[in-house]
Structure 1
Amino acid sequence: MKLIKNLFLLLALGSVVLLSACHKTELLTLSQPVLQISAPITSDTLKGTIKGTLLSGKTYYFKSDITVNDGDTLQMQAGVKLIAIGDGKTYQTSPEIIVHGTFISLGTKDNPNYITVGNYTDLHSQAAAGNYANVFQGYWGGIVCSPSTTATATNAAPAGGDLIIKWTHLEMAGGPSGPNNDPAIYAQGDPRYIIYFGNIKKNFVLEDSWVFGSKDDAIRVVGGKINIMRNTFEICGQSGGEFFNMKSGTVGDIAYNMMIGAATNAIKASDSGSSGTQCNVNMYNNTIVNCGFRQTKSGRGGSINYEKAARGLVYNNLIVNCRFGLRLVNDADITNIKYNSQLYYGNSQTIVNQFNSADGVATFQSNDVHSTTPQQNNPLFISYDLNQFNYTASPGPLTAAQQPAYLVQVGSGNFRLQATSPAASKGKTDFQPLNLVTSTGTTASTVTLPGKDLGAYQIDGTGNQH
């Protein structure tokens, strides 16, 4: 009996040690048991209305639209490939995933998921060689998440569901919309996004994932509780479009994302749409590099943008060689936007002059790291040359063909910080994320708290894990 008591004591002490060892920069939710397999999907071809579980290690294909009905769930286990077969030429040949219910992709670090196209390896190789013509083809129609018209009209529960995506590659959507698309989302012929999410009552979680090669916006959110953490965004938007574009009703946090090569802004918040819930999004500890140069409209395109009554907190971001720095338009909710502790770097005078966008009202704050001289305050990435492209000769706008791969993709670059970086220990940590996502168990969010170092990668190894 004494031996058993001692064993229980050791187990209890071990639990205390484990809990105390959790890194203080993470808000952890104790998970419920792993989701049970519901209705395993064994056919490798998906079409029509679907629900159930895509099984680990299997590859699935869809050539026409597939739909998850209101109240239903489609789940991807770790190590699933979901391949769209399309050519991006018409809406009929650019299939999409229509989600009126819940869609869950639970990849892992060692066994990530893919939602992409069949020739994604070749397309990555072409992009690595600087050939983007096929990358922007928009082979499929993306994921469209919104309540069904019937559920919305009758106020029938559950009226749509959550979108939960972890450790998943999302790639190369943008095929033209057609008459089957909701005109409130897309005008006919518009390029579609990799993800559209529009449900003010539900959750959108995107964690530790990769977003690559959209024709226009990569992701657009028109209402919802969001948590966008520790992802990598690369080369999205052929001649316009953001990595992450938000409208009225969107609330939450965007942090620890590596963002390189957006056509326009990396992140944009606007309260347009009049949902009744103000767009309120915190953007902190993101690394934003070489963004904004493919946007052809004057004054557009850069790093972080708030406009049209949107609000939020903006801290601890690295804004590096972006065409425009922080842009706070005077019609944003300026009173309720708090910002400080950004590091700005520009290798040309043109970039330096626009650290605070000239058509906005942002000003430098007390703890910003900035200079009026080009090539000052290099953040000292471990292995990336910020001066390998001459922005003095090419201040923008640029076409994709004018941008070498190293400007729009991570490639062999290592964007972690050297110990002597001017971004080290400059972070503001005395504020809290909104942390509004309500999903639990294996679909719960892991919110990384503000970091002491600027940018997505913390010198102690926390933050972005890519």
Structure 2
Amino acid sequence: MKAKHLFIYLAILTSVIAGCKKANIDVDPDTGNGTVTGEVSGIWLKGSTQFIKGDIIIPEGKSLTIEEGVTIVMDTVAKPEIIVKGNLYAQGTADFPIKFTVAEEFRTEAKKFGRLWGGILAAPSCEELLLDHTIIEYAGATTSDASTSVKQHLYKAVAGENLPALWFSNVNGKLVVTNSIFRNLQEDCTYIDGGKVIFANNSFYTTGVTGGEAINLKSGCVADVAYNLVYSTNTNALKLSNSGDRTPQAYIVVYNNTMVNTGWRRPTAKGGSIWVEATVRVSVYNNMFANTRFGIKRDTKKPEDDRSVFGNNYYYGFNQVTVDQFQPTKEIIAGTNDIISKTAGDNDPMFINYPLNIPVDNATFNTAWDFHLKPGSPALGKGTTNFTRHYASGLVLNGVTYKSPDPSGYIGAYGTN
């Protein structure tokens, strides 16, 4: 009897080991470095490198934690998708960020708009997703009939769609994206179909070939969006919409963001800075619009919720064409205490290091630029803190509380150094 029990135990153990081997192929148990495909969960160890050779799936009810300094290298032939049915926690630090990327030889000017791997696609069963001090680059591949996302009816579930770098779809789930960078992407950086959401202290640049927003929020989202820098998105910096007929109604608080040169590379009705539509409810305060195409723009056929409020936003244009497009109309929304230039060059925000005469259709970002404000900037002291954000008390993910940052008395994402 004992021999029989031992045989059964060994059979079970062998099965478990085989299952782990399938999920994490050739992972070194000491360094954590590995070649990965299939189902994954557990921990990717600090400082390790993971080579993703095919689509990976975090199963429902399980979690993958990525520790600081991990580099995830995506195969440019397989163009993998990361399917999150459970939970994903990318926990980088300022000194040791996490990076989702491709091999160095593919990071070229010719490939600067990505398309080299899919994206992070979180199914409605994903309860928590965290990206903290995480870099996502060179994503946005186009789906085919063979794509896992299409087969599993995720995102738009059709061939021929350009994937966002991040998709989240659980209206009852929690999503926090903070201190992160989205760059070198084909289209939308993020596309959010619901959830309790914080986007704070992120940068978005060199994105969008023929379309795409930095942050695209739909019905079911209750979100705070603060202290983000968005540079030269193809379409809008933010698209705020209640489309999709999900509950709750989309309610977005947008404050202290800096948007520069957005919208010019898609010269259509929707190319601009912030687009609001379809009964979305918004509160929009303390945002800096520098050389963006249009100010805050509404869809006049499907306008925003009439409880929406706007105020203390700042508009600068280097040339008169830009300035003229800021002026309030039926489409362009003016807020209380806004600072809106009427003549080219008026109200220079006095960035520490950014040439305001750079062509508005420039998509190449210089990481040496500094969008902090010089002492004496007219944007200092012109913000308001007299409004309510959703998550002042925070969202708890994986046992850690992440709070929406306090609003500031200056306008834009950065005050003085």
The normalised TM-score by structure 1 is 0.78
- Contact 1:329 1:359 (8 Å CA) reproduced: no
User: 2:183·2:204 contact (CA, 8 Å) conserved in 1?
Assistant: yes
Matches of 1:443 and 1:100, distance apart in 2 = 21
Q: Report the equivalent of 2:134.
A: 168
Kindly report which structure 2 residues correspond to 1:22-421, keeping only aligned pairs within 5 A, or say none: 42=32, 44-87=34-77, 93-119=78-104, 123=107, 126=108, 131=109, 133-147=110-124, 159-179=125-145, 180-182=148-150, 183=153, 185-186=155-156, 187-296=158-267, 298-330=268-300, 331-356=302-327, 360-363=331-334, 365-389=335-359, 403=362, 405=364, 409-421=365-377
Paired residue type of 1:283: V
Q: Secondary structure at the match of 2:396?
A: coil
Letter in 1 for 2:90: S
Cα 1:195–1:359 change in 2 (3 A) is: farther
Work out whether residues 212 and 234 of structure 2, in 8 Å CA contact, stay in contact via their aligned partners in 1.
Answer: yes
- Aligned to 2:235, the other structure's residue is in SS state coil
Report the secondary structure of 2:295's partner residue.
coil
1:385 & 1:137 partners in 2: Cα distance?
26
* Contact 2:121-2:154 at 8 Å conserved across structures: no
Runs of at least 5 residues in structure 1 that lack an aligned partner in the other structure: 1-38, 88-92, 148-158, 392-397, 462-466
Distance 2:190 2:299 in 1: 21
**Does 1:456 pair with 2:413?**
yes
What's the CA shift for 1:444?
Answer: 2.4
Distance 1:239-1:117 versus aligned 2 partners, 3 A rule: same
Distance 2:137 2:328 in 1: 30
Q: Which residue pairs with 1:434 in the alignment?
A: 390
Cα offset for 1:404?
6.1
CA distance in 1, matches of 2:224, 2:369: 26
Deviation, structure 1 residue 446: 3.1
SS at match of 1:181: helix
**TM-score, normalised by the number of residues in structure 2:** 0.87
Counterpart in the other structure of 1:22: none
Number of aligned residue pairs: give it.
382
> Do the aligned partners of residues 455 and 83 (structure 1) sit closer, same or farther apart at CA in structure 2, a change above 3 Å counting?
same
RMSD (Å) for aligned C-alpha atoms = 2.0
| Conserved 8 A contact 1:41-1:53 | no
Runs of 4+ with deviation above 3 angstroms: 39-43, 356-359, 440-443
Q: CA deviation at 1:213?
A: 1.4
CA distance in 2, matches of 1:115, 1:212: 11
Residue 432 of structure 1 contacts residue 449 of structure 1 at CA under 8 Å; is this kept in 2?
Answer: no
Partners of 1:185 and 1:383 lie apart in 2 by 39
Structure with more of its chain in strand, by fraction: 2
Which of 379, 385, 394 matches 1:423?
Answer: 379
Q: Cα deviation per residue 1:384-440 (whole Å; 9 max; x = unaligned)?
A: 110243x6xxxxxx5xxxx362xxx24221100001101000011111211186325
Are the counterparts in 1 of residues 260 and 290 from structure 2 also a CA contact under 8 Å? yes
Cα shift at 1:361: 4.9
Cα gap change, 1:57/1:263 in structure 2, threshold over 3 Å: closer, same or farther?
A: same
Cα pair 1:292 1:303 within 8 Å, conserved: yes
Q: Distance in 2 between matches of 1:136 and 1:387?
A: 24
CA contact (8 A) 1:195 1:218 kept: yes
SS state at 1:216 partner: coil
Report the alpha carbon displacement of residue 443 of structure 1 after superposing the two structures with TM: 3.7
Question: Deviations 1:274-316 (Å, cap 9, x if unpaired)?
Answer: 01211111110000001101114x2221111111111110000
Query: Which of structures 1 and 2 has the larger relative contact order (alpha carbons within 8 angstroms, sep 6+)?
Result: 1
Cα distance in 2 for partners of 1:358, 1:184 equals: 39
Contact 2:259–2:292, Cα closer than 8 Å, also in 1: yes
Please say if residues 164 and 443 of structure 1, whose CA atoms lie closer than 8 Å, have aligned partners that are also in contact. no
Taking every aligned residue pair, what percent have the same amino acid on both sides? 32
In structure 2, relative to structure 1, the CA distance for the partners of 1:216 and 1:304 (3 Å cut) is: same
CA distance in 2, matches of 1:105, 1:171: 15
Note closer, same or farther for the CA distance 1:373–1:356 as it changes in structure 2 (3 Å cut). closer
Given that residues 72 and 101 in structure 2 are in contact (C-alpha distance below 8 angstroms), is that contact kept between their aligned partners in structure 1? Answer: yes
Q: Aligned partners of 1:101 and 1:441: how far apart in 2?
A: 12
